[in-house]
Chains A and B, each alone.
Chain A
Amino acid sequence: MQLYRLTLATMLQRKVWIIAFLCALIMPIVLPYLTPHESNPNLVAPARAQAAWICLWVVSIAWVFFQAARFGDDTARSGLGAYFLSTGVSRVSQMMQIWLACLTFLLPLVCITVAVCLVGAMPGDSAQAKMWIATNMQYAALFLLVIMPLMMVATSVGSRFGSTIGYLIPLCMSVYGMYGVGYLSMMTTVQDNVFLDWLYVVSPHYHLADLTPRLVFRHGSMVGSEFLQLVAYFVGIKIVLSMLSTMCFQAKPVT
């Protein structure tokens, strides 16, 4: 796990993680007060949950993906990948170690977000509180199932095509999966186009992992079967992306 330790130490040394953690911690406290909370104090709690989760999405997409892509690129270009390869650390193991190091920073961010929601926005009613906890846990699970494979994509594409492309591809995929698919859905309803229908089917529906409206409008947690269906769907995407990432990752520059 030498590459894991080295990647982790590099991330710590760069200190940008402080900004990421401060964002995840402070934004949900500050942003809710931009709402008309004086006239309606009940707005603060849902706004806090919304701010917390949106912050987490933004930090993950903007910072974690970039780190993952950069480490993939650096490892291949710096000769470290070849060094580890010569010592018997396989290509896949190298990718996993970089991915794990990025995940080590992502997990506390998720914990902070869930903690902010549970401490700073928990409903007073005990039945609602139970539902609130369950929804946040479901959200955390789905969020990780979406972000983790995309981090792997960032690392592997970064190692092969450089950090810029390695960053842009998972960024575009996540934005498309969150928002683009919605527009595509509208287009498929107004146009009878087989290609668009297929595109809609094969697109990653990351918007399904966004449970922010459930938290904001207190819709309650998903029923078990619905949640498991979503888990299975995202696990399927994860398997496909992991396989593609494994094929794409390279530990040394192309000669």
Chain B
Amino acid sequence: MKLTDGNPKVGLLGGLSIGYQERLAQVSDQGDIELGSGTHYLLARNGRGKTTLLRTLAGVLKPLDGGFSCEGRCQLLSEDMTFDRELPARVILKCLLKKADCKQAIELAHNLELNLVKPYGKLSTGNKRKVALLVAEFSVQEGRSDILLLDEPFTGLDAFAREIFQDLWSKRQDGVLRLVSCHPDFDSMEMESSVLISDGQIVHLSGENAPKQWGDLKIQLN
């Protein structure tokens, strides 16, 4: 992981192969994939290697073969990340965020109708995800290259909360690279840039000719 100022980059080099004991997916030898700042959706069917790819990019898991580069400070928000069940969300935010960021996170938490005093263990699945997402989003620092690797962040989130986060991503001009794995639930969901894992191949779709809506993208998945 290399730290650069304000311009995060993720590069998946041709031949990168991911998996545990067996290979789950790989980048074609013919072309590297380069992702810059902005939101990129990571799409694949279950068990195809979305989480594995995110863990590999975060440096938590070694690739089976090939290489990759992450220029920026990574944050991996895995789907199963939890906090101590007795801690209220407010305490979690205070412990993990700087004072000014924490204040902003608490304001957004109110908009998201997240109960900040209820113990974490008593929150619903969606509200637990909100806590983790708030931590990740407000850990981002201006002028620093930040890479957020978000593993199914919308699981359990209602449409209202999801829209708030998607609005936040589009409004914040923070130069953050977000790689978001998800299973969208409506066909018209817009995706400017998407990374697909299909038939064991990792491909990047972007540019004018690439499909931009989940409805068009999902038919390419296998």
Contacts and interface: CB of A to CB of B under 8 A. Distances in A.
B87 A13 contact: yes
A82 interface: yes
A253 to B, nearest CB: 10
Contacts of A42: none
A74 B78 contact: no
B61 interface: yes
B75 A86 contact: yes
Interface stretch (A3-11, A138-146, A214-222): A3-11
Contact of B82 (A79, A85, A86, A88): A79
A82 B76 contact: yes
Nearest to A4: B95
B153 to A, nearest CB: 13
A79 B74 contact: no
Interface residues of B, number: 28
A6 B95 contact: yes
A85 B74 CA distance: 9
B86 interface: yes
A48 interface: no
Interface of B: 1, 20, 55, 58-61, 73-78, 80-84, 86-88, 91-92, 94-96, 139, 149
Contact of A9 (B61, B82, B87): B87
6 contacts: A6-B87, A79-B81, A82-B76, A87-B74, A88-B1, A255-B61
B90 to A, nearest CB: 10
A252 to B, nearest CB: 6
B19 to A, nearest CB: 10
Given A6-B83, A10-B84, 8 more contacts: A9-B92, A78-B83, A79-B81, A83-B75, A83-B81, A86-B74, A87-B74, A88-B1
